[in-house]
Amino acid sequence: MALDLTSSSTDAQVSAAYDDNADYDLVSGGSVEKARNFAQALRLLVRRGAEEMQKGNERMRDTWLKYQNELEQVMRWLARNDPNNVSGGKGTVTYFDFRNFR
Q: What is the mean pLDDT of residues 42-68?
A: 83
Query: In a 3-state reduction of DSSP, which class is residue 100?
Result: coil
Residues 6+ apart with CB under 8 A from 2: 33, 36, 37
Q: How many domains does the chain have?
A: 1
Examine residue 97 and state whether it is found in any structural domain, yes or no: no
Domain of residue 33 covers 11-81
Return the amino acid letter for 22.
Answer: A
pLDDT of amino acid 29: 82
Examine residue 1 and state whether it is found in any structural domain, yes or no: no
For residue 79, the 8-state DSSP code is H
Examine the pLDDT at 6 and tell me if it is beyond 70: yes
Neighbours of 90 (CB within 10 A): 8
Closest CA to 38 of 57, 58, 26, 24: 24
Which of the two residues, 1 and 27, has the higher pLDDT score?
A: 27
Examine residue 96 and state whether it is found in any structural domain, yes or no: no
Examine residue 94 and state whether it is found in any structural domain, yes or no: no
Examine residue 17 and state whether it is found in any structural domain, yes or no: yes
Spatial separation of the C-alpha atoms in residues 60 and 57, rounded to whole Å: 6
pTM score, whole prediction: 0.75
Examine residue 90 and state whether it is found in any structural domain, yes or no: no
Examine residue 74 and state whether it is found in any structural domain, yes or no: yes
DSSP 51-80: HHHHTT-TTHHHHHHHHHHHHHHHHHHHHH
Spatial separation of the C-alpha atoms in residues 39 and 78, rounded to whole Å: 9
Summarised one tens digit per residue, pLDDT across range 14-46 is 999 999 999 999 988 889 999 999 999 999 999
Examine residue 58 and state whether it is found in any structural domain, yes or no: yes
